[in-house]
């Protein structure tokens, strides 16, 4: 009996690996931007990605093969497998950002808790974190505003002038606002690109990641056994439930270390760790330094 070769897991990409330098946001020009060497094959990102293509043609895979061309905007949520197949002569931008960056914009931007079976599907605005629409093609006026906001966002990040952090955040809010307006006004309710169970699980993790949370808690919330949930999440995203929980907590801990004067013990508790020693060990394993050292480096 002939055995089917085992499919290798997708390569996991983080914002740090993309050169974010501790920031929750990264903008890269296509082509020509500084992109680290990433192994060929399927990828899974731990951050949200927005591809805004201004010219050219190419091919990619977002759960299924598709043609990419100038005028397209593709949204790739964290955990969704994707793969560049042929970049061709494509030009544009890649915007990568930590999903927690949107939390500060208000509760209306957060994903809703999982719905019961048979309930209506989430609207695109609510499901922005956990699903991707294959393609947005805004009208000319909105397209020009999006491109303008992207150019200004890239400039602020690149030049790092006085007040760059506030200016960067402002341009990011304006950019995402235009995308959400397009989703609300024109985007069809496209079918989910990964299973409903994964969507609901990631949404629940997003909404509850800053309190003590276990695989059992997530399984109860979405109505399945822990073993089944663990297998499905790993198969469809390449990460475990624990991986997703850790990524969100580390992103929020970095924000609080950089923006507040709270103690390490307090921040550990705020991001869901009951044991500060466990928090410090986890942070050092992910970042290579302790939370205190990371704070000193980035505040300097």
pLDDT number for residue 220: 94
Residue of 10 and 75 predicted with greater confidence: 75
More confident residue, 2 or 165: 165
> Tens of pLDDT along 206-230?
778 888 889 999 999 989 999 999 9
Collect all residues with Cβ–Cβ distance below 8 Å to 210 and sequence separation of at least 6: 248, 249, 252, 270, 271, 272
Contact 271, 247 (CB under 8 A): no
pTM of the model: 0.61
Confidence of residue 111 (pLDDT cuts 50, 70, 90): very low
Tell me which of 79 and 66 has the higher pLDDT.
Answer: 66
Contact (CB, 8 A) for 44 and 76: no
Measured between its terminal Cα atoms, the distance across the chain in Å is 62
What's the pLDDT tens digit per position in 138-156? Answer: 889 999 999 999 999 999 9
CA 134/CA 9 separation, integer angstroms: 23
* Token pair for 162: 């006085």
Please check whether residue 38 is in contact with residue 13, taking contact to mean a CB–CB distance below 8 angstroms.
yes
> Rounded to whole angstroms, how far apart are CA atoms 150 and 28?
10
Report the DSSP beta bridge partners of residue 91: 55
Which of 139, 168, 151, 154 is CA-nearest to residue 73?
Answer: 139
| Dihedrals phi, psi of 215, to nearest 5 degrees | -55, -40
Residue with tokens 């986890």: 282
Taking only the tens place, the pLDDT of each residue in 14-61 is 888 888 887 888 998 888 666 666 667 778 787 888 899 999 988 887
Higher pLDDT, 97 or 180: 97
* Helices 140-159 and 164-185, axial angle in degrees (round to 10): 160
Q: Who wins on pLDDT, 109 or 219?
A: 219
- The dihedrals phi and psi of 200, each to the nearest 5 degrees, come to -65, -40
**What pLDDT, on a 0 to 100 scale, did the predictor assign at position 189?**
42
**CA nearest to 244, candidates 290, 288, 197, 209:** 209
pLDDT band at 110 (very low <50, low <70, confident <90, very high): very low
């Amino acid at each position: 009996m002939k055995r089917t070769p085992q499919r290798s897991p997708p390569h996991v990409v983080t914002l740090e690996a993309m050169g974010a330098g501790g920031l929750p946001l990264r903008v890269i020009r296509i082509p020509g931007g500084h992109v680290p060497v990433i192994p060929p094959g399927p990828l899974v990102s731990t951050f949200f990605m927005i591809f805004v293509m201004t010219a050219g043609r190419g091919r990619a895979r977002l759960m299924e093969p598709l043609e990419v061309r100038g005028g397209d905007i593709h949204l790739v949520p964290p955990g969704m497998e994707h793969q560049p197949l042929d970049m061709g002569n494509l030009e544009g931008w890649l915007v990568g950002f930590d999903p927690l960056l949107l939390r500060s914009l208000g509760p209306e931007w957060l994903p809703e808790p999982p719905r019961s079976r048979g309930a209506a599907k989430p609207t695109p605005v609510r499901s922005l974190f956990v699903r991707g629409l294959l393609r947005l093609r805004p009208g000319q006026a909105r397209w020009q505003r999006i491109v303008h906001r992207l150019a200004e966002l890239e400039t602020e990040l690149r030049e790092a002038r006085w007040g760059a952090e506030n200016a960067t955040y402002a341009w990011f809010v304006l950019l995402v606002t235009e995308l959400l307006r397009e989703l609300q006004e024109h985007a069809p309710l496209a079918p989910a690109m990964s299973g409903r169970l994964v969507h609901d699980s990631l949404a629940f993790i997003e909404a509850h990641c800053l309190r003590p949370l276990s695989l059992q808690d997530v399984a109860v919330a979405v109505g399945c056994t822990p073993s089944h949930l663990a297998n499905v999440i790993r198969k469809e995203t390449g990460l475990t439930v624990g991986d997703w929980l850790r990524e969100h907590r580390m992103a929020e801990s970095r924000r609080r270390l950089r923006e507040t004067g709270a103690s390490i013990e307090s921040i550990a508790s705020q991001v869901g760790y009951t044991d500060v020693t466990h928090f410090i060990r986890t942070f050092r394993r992910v970042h290579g330094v302790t939370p205190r050292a990371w704070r000193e480096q980035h505040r300097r």
